[in-house]
Amino acid sequence: MTLIISEVKTARDLQEFISLPARIHKGHKEWVPSLIGDDKTLFDPHKNEAFIYCTTIRLLARRNNIVVGRIMGIIHHHYNKLNNERNGRFCFMETFEDKEVFTALVNSVQTWAADNGCNKLIGPLGFSDKDPQGFLIEGFDQETMMITNCSYPYMKNFIEDMGFVPHTVLVEYKLKITDQMISRISLFAERAQRNPNIKLITFTKTSQIKPYIRPVFELINKTYKSIYGFSPVSDKEADQFAERYLPFLDAKLIKVVVNNDGQVIAFLVAMADFSKGIKQAKGRIFPFGWFPILRSMRNSETVVLFLGAVDEEYRHRGLDALMGHSLLIDCIKLGYKYMDSHVIMESNIKMRRELERLDGSVLYKRYCIYQKEISVINFTEEQQPDIKGHNPPKTEKIISA
């Protein structure tokens, strides 16, 4: 049957793009769907601020007029300029176990990226490091946390068969919350608490958090520069990010440290793992998805470390211990038994050693972002793509019959 690769053009195309993963992962025990409402914002150029400074393409693969695969290509101009790179990205890729479809989709994005002046293709990597990234390469039989990829083993095999090699490996730990964990950091936390120049801010309701949202993202922009895939977050993106996640956060699991001037110098955000509720709701909040999601949040035994940072000027002063100690105490009060590290760069040896010193620490998943050099079309300065441009390839490409 003829395989056709075509660009997402219509509302129906976008709906098929968003709904495809549920068909591919039907019966996949460990898979957790994304929230459909989030996807409708994420993939919509009119709603997602990132489309302004990224050139993008969304592609569907069809056989006999049935969608059998999808992929997105991104050229992140801000990131490339800041890091002196000419990289294209592929992301949000989903296919059945069909090597022809997989290869055709990746090759289509590769050609598009080269036509737009890129000399390397990297992925899976979305608009930022806050999107699910990497193909799963270890821990296929383990539970999936929110905002992480849950890909089948064949995705790893297919991309390596195409000549892609590892670029960045990410790891994920699960830890049991124990008295040993708390006592290990209590001394450092007490020492930091005695510092008259800092103050730990705790919260009891989300409305108290809103004044700190932009200062927190200013600190993120300042401290996340070395994290691969990160690019500065605008005020509007910070507001969108908060709007997306704030309804799912428990204020007691958020910690902020300020200095005498009231400036945010450290923060820690954790959230209940409600992936079971998302699975039960099949990614739909409305009309009735709220109930299993809220029930999952209330009954969850696992808290996920979502975001955190300490200003470089204030590091090695125990601020991480101060926030961590407060978080662990509240976790026990709220009935949590486990903590998930979320994804960490494998090269972040310092953080990994801290986690591995704790009793019951288990590295249970690895993800890999792959890379491949590609042939580039050299543009003159006048021919360079507009930062707001789209530059798609032909609307439809017939791969095989």
What CATH number did the domain enclosing 21 receive? 3.40.630.30
| Model pLDDT, residue 73 | 98
Residues 6+ apart with CB under 8 A from 365: 136, 138, 139, 142, 148, 171, 172
pLDDT, one tens digit per residue, over 260-277 is: 999 999 999 999 999 999
Q: Once rounded to an integer, what is the mean pLDDT over residues 62-73?
A: 96
Domain finish residue from 336, 355, 386:
336
Q: Does residue 32 form part of some domain?
A: yes
- Considering the domain architecture, whether residues 137 and 258 belong to the same structural domain is answered as no
Confidence of residue 355 (pLDDT cuts 50, 70, 90): confident
Q: Does residue 356 form part of some domain?
A: no
Q: Does residue 362 form part of some domain?
A: no
- Considering the domain architecture, whether residues 88 and 209 belong to the same structural domain is answered as no
Show the DSSP H helices in 175-226 as ranges. Answer: 179-193, 213-223
Q: Does residue 310 form part of some domain?
A: yes
Q: Once rounded to an integer, what is the mean pLDDT over residues 70-81?
A: 95
Q: Does residue 350 form part of some domain?
A: no
Q: Once rounded to an integer, what is the mean pLDDT over residues 227-241?
A: 84
- Considering the domain architecture, whether residues 136 and 202 belong to the same structural domain is answered as no
Domain finish residue from 336, 354, 380:
336
Residues 6+ apart with CB under 8 A from 230: 79, 128, 129, 224
The whole-angstrom distance between residue 150's C-alpha and the CA centroid of its chain comes to 12
pLDDT, one tens digit per residue, over 287-313 is: 778 888 889 989 999 999 999 999 999
- Considering the domain architecture, whether residues 280 and 240 belong to the same structural domain is answered as yes
Q: Does residue 342 form part of some domain?
A: no
- Considering the domain architecture, whether residues 303 and 246 belong to the same structural domain is answered as yes
d(CA 42, CA 376): 28
Q: Once rounded to an integer, what is the mean pLDDT over residues 168-176?
A: 95
| Model pLDDT, residue 385 | 37
Q: How many residues does the chain have?
A: 401
Domain count, the chain: 2
pTM of the model: 0.87
d(CA 274, CA 36): 15
Q: Which two tokens stand for residue 347?
A: 């090269």
d(CA 363, CA 345): 12
Q: What is the four-CA torsion angle of 50, 244, 323, 207, rounded to 10 degrees?
A: 120
| Model pLDDT, residue 179 | 85
List the end-to-end C-alpha distance of the chain, in Å, as a whole number.
5
Query: In this model, does residue 394 exceed pLDDT 80?
Result: no
Domain finish residue from 336, 361, 392:
336
- Considering the domain architecture, whether residues 385 and 294 belong to the same structural domain is answered as no
Specify whether the CB–CB gap between 251 and 333 falls below 8 A. Answer: no
Nearest alpha carbon to residue 73 among 397, 390, 396, 375: 390
Confidence of residue 377 (pLDDT cuts 50, 70, 90): low
- Considering the domain architecture, whether residues 165 and 194 belong to the same structural domain is answered as no
- Considering the domain architecture, whether residues 75 and 94 belong to the same structural domain is answered as yes
Residues 6+ apart with CB under 8 A from 29: none
- Considering the domain architecture, whether residues 196 and 263 belong to the same structural domain is answered as yes
Mean pLDDT of the chain: 90
Q: Which domain holds residue 312?
A: 178-336
Confidence of residue 398 (pLDDT cuts 50, 70, 90): low
Q: Once rounded to an integer, what is the mean pLDDT over residues 193-200?
A: 94
Q: Once rounded to an integer, what is the mean pLDDT over residues 32-56?
A: 92
- Considering the domain architecture, whether residues 217 and 297 belong to the same structural domain is answered as yes
Phi then psi dihedrals of residue 122, to 5 deg: -130, 140
Query: In this model, does residue 401 exceed pLDDT 80?
Result: no
Could you tell me which residues are beta bridge partners of residue 208?
none
d(CA 56, CA 109): 10
Show the DSSP H helices in 261-394 as ranges. Answer: 275-281, 290-299, 319-333, 349-356
Lookup result for tokens 């019966």: 27
| Model pLDDT, residue 241 | 83
| Model pLDDT, residue 382 | 43
DSSP single-letter state for residue 227: S
| Model pLDDT, residue 376 | 63
| Model pLDDT, residue 232 | 85
Specify whether the CB–CB gap between 163 and 107 falls below 8 A. Answer: no
Q: Does residue 363 form part of some domain?
A: no
Between residues 242 and 214, the one the model is more confident about: 214
| Model pLDDT, residue 254 | 96
Phi then psi dihedrals of residue 117, to 5 deg: 90, 15
**What are the C-alpha distances in Å from 127 to residues 21, 168, 215, 275?**
19, 16, 22, 22
Phi then psi dihedrals of residue 303, to 5 deg: -110, 140
Q: Which two tokens stand for residue 128?
A: 């930022």
| Model pLDDT, residue 285 | 84
- Considering the domain architecture, whether residues 145 and 239 belong to the same structural domain is answered as no
| Model pLDDT, residue 146 | 84
Q: Once rounded to an integer, what is the mean pLDDT over residues 327-348?
A: 94
- Considering the domain architecture, whether residues 90 and 162 belong to the same structural domain is answered as yes
Q: Does residue 304 form part of some domain?
A: yes
d(CA 40, CA 183): 44
